[in-house]
Amino acid sequence: MSLPQGREPAGISHPWPDPPAPGQAVQIADGVLWLRLPLPMALDHVNVFAFADDVAEGGGWTVIDTGFDTRRSRAIWETALAGPLAGRPVTRIIATHHHPDHIGLAGWFMAQGSDLWTSRTAWLMARMLVLDEQGSPPPETLTFWRRAGMPAALLAERAGQRPFNFADTVHPLPLGYTRLTEGQRVRFGGRDWRVTMGDGHAPEHVTLWSLSDDLVIGGDQLLPGISPNLGVYPTEPQADPVGDWLAACHRLSALARPGHLVLPGHKLPFAGLPLRLTQMVQNHERALDRLASALAERPRSAAECFPALYRREIGAGEYGLALVEAVAHLNRLAVTGRAQPVGERDGAVLWGVT
């Protein structure tokens, strides 16, 4: 779920307007290949990048993110490994964060001899969620949905459905990984890199900034044209991912240069990162202002905040992501003293201005 945004300003450019076909690759720098894997959702793809390691680094490939663990994704990888990757082994997987479209096939590659590099939080969350398989929504989730204002009919429907489980699209993760930490220097793909952590969309989200040229690996922290989902979940209902996201954008702005070429988790590689970071901050600040104005008119549940936040109809397929992002923006208003719970209606918390 992403908040509405206008057209990208002229300062943001896309050197490669066409993505690679499944199983194929586009070379975007010396020893750097851009590939895509399909996703069965509105955002129908994830970008992955392969970096050719020199002999001193092992002579194979370092791959950034992996796509879902599905038969189709595995088949596409097999085509790519035999084709543009020329049969050389994938010796290292770097997962930017713990979400299934980014870490889904890490375990599959590890079973073939790859190492996994990621942040400690990403590894712990991915491994925990793969093991936490649920046949129906737990009571805490039902309570969370009810208090967020999910309509009773939809709540009853979803209470009887098997929820999405990480195990559905993430290969089992074996023990053992290499931890990436804030400020660390690492080497792969014939380049030296600085590790810098993002936040908000996923905790300890890895971004990598080349010290050898102008490449930046952005994952979902640095995207063109869309904002990643910033959601609050029953596991941490008082979380403030919007505040975490805004703080991360300001931290990363200190590193960003107009000449950087960003390799994002979705959409197209782009230049114009300083402007894009400013735009991402403004996008959520404006959403918070719209939400505060709506709450000044009358108290609302999180579900009743959709028109103010998204300004479009929310379909069934995106309802869950919209709901957790609405809660996140209400939590941010609460943290900054601009809103608070003022009552309840049919079990749903109503929010108003302070």
Q: What integer best gives the mean pLDDT of the chain?
A: 95
Range of the domain at 116: 26-140+165-275
What's the whole-number mean pLDDT along residues 204-224?
98
| DSSP letters spanning 145-183 | HHHHT--HHHHHHHHTSPPP-GGGTSPPPPS--EE--TT
Tell me the chain's radius of gyration from C-alpha atoms.
21
Average pLDDT over residues 231-258: 97
Q: Is 332 exposed, middle or buried (0-12, 13-18, 19+ CB in 10 A)?
A: buried
Domain membership of residue 352 (yes or no) is: no
As to burial, measured by CB atoms within 10 angstroms (0-12 exposed, 13-18 middle, 19+ buried), residue 316 is exposed
In this structure, what DSSP letter does residue 9 have? P
Q: Does 21 map to a domain?
A: no
Output the pLDDT for position 1: 47
End-to-end CA distance of the chain: 28
CA distance 241 to 175: 29
Average pLDDT over residues 122-146: 96
Residue 333 belongs to some domain of the structure: no
CA-closest candidate to residue 119, choices 111, 107, 109, 127? 127
Percent of the chain with pLDDT strictly greater than 70:
97
Integer Cα distance of 2 and 309 in angstroms: 10
Task: Name the token pair of 258.
Answer: 């107009």
Q: Which residues pair with 93 in a beta bridge?
A: 63, 116
pLDDT tens sequence across 251-281? 999 999 999 999 999 999 999 999 999 999 9
Q: How far apart are CA 331 and CA 325, in angstroms?
A: 10
Whether 222 is covered by a domain: the verdict is yes
Interval 56-71: pLDDT, tens: 777 899 999 999 999 9
What is d(CA 300, CA 351) in angstroms, rounded to the nearest whole number?
5
Summarize the confidence of residues 156-170 as an average pLDDT: 96
Q: How far is it, in rounded angstroms, from Cα 130 to Cα 118? A: 16
Residue 7 maps to a domain: no
SS3 call for 216? strand
Q: Is residue 322 part of a domain?
A: no
Nearest Cα neighbor of 276 from 256, 294, 296 is 256
Q: Is residue 170, in this structure, part of any structural domain at all?
A: yes
Averaged pLDDT for residues 183-199:
97
Q: Are residues 201 and 194 in contact, defined by beta-carbon separation less than 8 angstroms?
A: no
The CA-atom distances, in angstroms, between 267 and each of 1, 37, 66, 170, 248 are: 15, 12, 15, 22, 21
Residue appearing with tokens 């904002």: 227
Task: Enter the tokens of residue 296.
Answer: 């000044």
Question: In this structure, what CATH number is given to the domain that contains residue 233?
Answer: 3.60.15.10
pLDDT tens digits along 222-236: 999 999 999 999 999
DSSP string covering 175-190, please?
A: S--EE--TT-EEEETT
- Encoding tokens for residue 185? 């220097």
pLDDT at 9 over 60: no
pLDDT digits (tens, 9 = 90+) for 35-61: 999 999 889 999 999 999 987 777 899
Say which residues have a Cβ less than 8 Å from residue 113's Cβ, sequence separation at least 6: 89, 91
Check residue 10 and give its pLDDT. Answer: 55
What percentage of the chain's residues is helix, strand, coil (to nearest 5)? 35, 20, 45
Tokens 């595995």 belong to residue: 74
| Domain presence at residue 266 | yes
Looking at the 3D structure of the chain, how many domains does it have?
1
pLDDT at 42: 86
